Amino acid sequence: MSYQVLARKWRPQIFSDVIGQQHVLTALANGLEHQRLHHAYLFSGTRGVGKTTIARLLAKGLNCEKGITRTPCGQCVNCLEIEQGRFVDLIEIDAASRTKVEDTRELLDNVQYAPARGRFKVYLIDEVHMLSRHSFNALLKTLEEPPEHVKFLLATTDPQKLPVTILSRCLQFHLKALDVNQISNQLEYVLNAEQIESDVRARQLLARAADGSMRDALSLTDQAIALGGGKLTSDIVSQMLGTLDDAQPLEIIEALVRADGQQVMALVEQVASRGMDWENLLVETLSLLHRIAMLQLLPQQPESDPSSIEERLRLLARSISPTDLQVYYQALLVGRKELSYAPERRMGVEMALLRALAFHPKSVIEETPPSLVEAPVVPVGSTSVTPASAQPALSNEENRQAAQKVSQSLGTASTVNSPTAKLLQARSSLTRQGQTSPKKPEPAESAKAKPASSALERLVAVAEQRPQSYIPKTQEPKPIKKEAYRWRATNANIEEKQSSVTTPKSIKAALEDEKTAELTVKLVVESIQRDSWAAEIDKLNIPKLVQQVALNAFREQIDETRFCLHLRSKQHHLNSASAQKALAEALSALHGKPIELSIIEDDNPAVKTPLEWRKAIYEEKLAQARQSIISDRTIQTLQQLFDAELDEESIRPV
């Protein structure tokens, strides 16, 4: 017997084999047990979580020869044929390949017939959101009131694209993506049954790469087994996925904690030599920071990874402060967000790591002392500017004393772990020194100076000192005559133009060339059927601008290798050497031989261009639509009884 891939070999055959999705399995099992069966079920969720599998299990429970049951026997003919995919009363339809309304009508023509072998005729429609709007409309009535022997099982990855009328006729079950532990445990069970050696780290890497999909996890496992020659190790899986092991991101975090910039850049160079993905480096580093934060919050948390890095993570959790950890996490998270904007991805990673280093407490403490010794705020007078000699300031001796007190306060605060607390203590000591410094006697109350804490307040104080009584004569407001409001001849034309735009006639003119998307497609298809040149353009792989050249010209074939395009003179600006070259190359590729192309201007109305064909077809459809509405009996009755008038200019084909 040929080899069967793991994803098919280990497909669940009973409800208890399904991983997760208990909220769906419980509802279906209870419905089967009490025979409270709906006629239509909708299963939604991401790829590989069990939508089609659960639908087949439901079909097996409905058609088992032992009766409707939540635990089908798996031994009868019906169960075996459903497992093998050849049960005659289970009709599986791929909606992605049968989107037309004709396919749906053909399907519904056989609904009325009774099942041949089973108890129910089950229609399993996969990727149902791919059906067209007309197909959904054709399905509505049958989906609402199907025969008693018919059940509809719909599966989709995008339920938002389904019409509300379809959703309201179905029982909806949303399947959740599986978490890493669920996938890892199932992989362990499968690999043990297959007698394949594996380690915990390898299974976790596969579970993360699967991104919630059990089918993807089994497919990746097949690939890893083939690469490892029957063994599954973390090195093989990392090599296959192009990911890093935990050692390198952990060493980067340890270098960040030590503020060792050279070691950080050396580790980045090692990552570059292995050709790993840069975004994956940030993701792995962020994942380890998250684990460290969880260990800080829950130190008694059981080990999720029995590898050697767990002890190193716990050591980091005890040595790094939670605030610094959050700063590192935020810096790397922003770096990942801005990675696509960096000139190079490696440059973006390096700048993210340097940003994290810039906020290290060691860097902050070393840079703060020069900025701590600042001149005190100089008070500014409210009515006059105080001279520099009268401003209270600290002398050189007082500055030295203040600096000594700051250094003493920094030294005594070494027991405080947070660098922010050290900075606050240093600032408060300097503030107290400035407040206790001697001040000169203050002047009288009228000339008392008000402290200004910002340049904005100084600007306001200076502005208040300006004399407000002086106003130039040239700026005096002139009296406004009442007659000035009577003459509005200049605005009358503008108002007339604006009002003319909103007339019904102008709206009709603006919408005259508006066409629906369905009508546009019909015009293109019919023009291809009538004009061979339009059909040939549809097969060419050319840019839109070059396509406009071809659509606005008709073709003249001089011989087998020479074509001449007659371009309308109104579109002469489209003709260029590059467009002509691209069109000639596309024609050569289509015909399989070199084509010599020339373009001339020609306004001969006897021969239509592809765009003129579309316009002509549109006029034909418009005439047919007018004739159909004019001859409609309902329209004629309205005209006779209510003296209604038909606005023929508003008629549009569909």
Domains of the chain listed by start with CATH number: 6-174 (3.40.50.300), 180-241 (1.10.8.60), 247-364 (1.20.272.10), 532-607 (3.30.300.150)
98 touches 138 (CB < 8 A): no
Residues 108-121, mean pLDDT to the nearest whole number:
89
Rg for the chain, CA atoms, rounded: 40
Q: Is 94 helix (H, G, I), strand (E, B) or coil?
A: strand
- If you average pLDDT over every residue of the chain, what do you get? 79
134-to-25, 102, 112 alpha-carbon distances in Å = 33, 9, 21
* pLDDT classification of 435: cutoffs 50, 70, 90: low
* pLDDT classification of 468: cutoffs 50, 70, 90: very low
Bridge-partner residues for 43, per DSSP? 155, 173
Bridge-partner residues for 42, per DSSP? 154, 172
| pLDDT-wise least confident of 188-197, 314-323, 492-501 | 492-501
218 pLDDT higher than 90: yes
Tell me the pLDDT tens digit for each residue of 470-484: 444 445 555 555 545
Helix (H) or strand (E) holding 150: strand 150-156
Strands 449-450 and 380-381: antiparallel
C-alpha 56, offset from chain centre: 32
Tell me the pLDDT tens digit for each residue of 269-312: 988 887 778 888 899 899 999 999 999 888 766 555 545 678 88
Q: What is the pLDDT of residue 319?
A: 87
Structure tokens at 211: 């991104």
Each as own residue / partner, the long-range contacts of residues 385-392 (CB below 8 Å, 24 or more positions apart, any chain) are 386/449, 390/440, 392/437, 392/439, 392/440
Strands 121-126 and 150-156: parallel
Phi, psi of 171 (to 5 degrees): -85, 120
412 pLDDT higher than 80: no
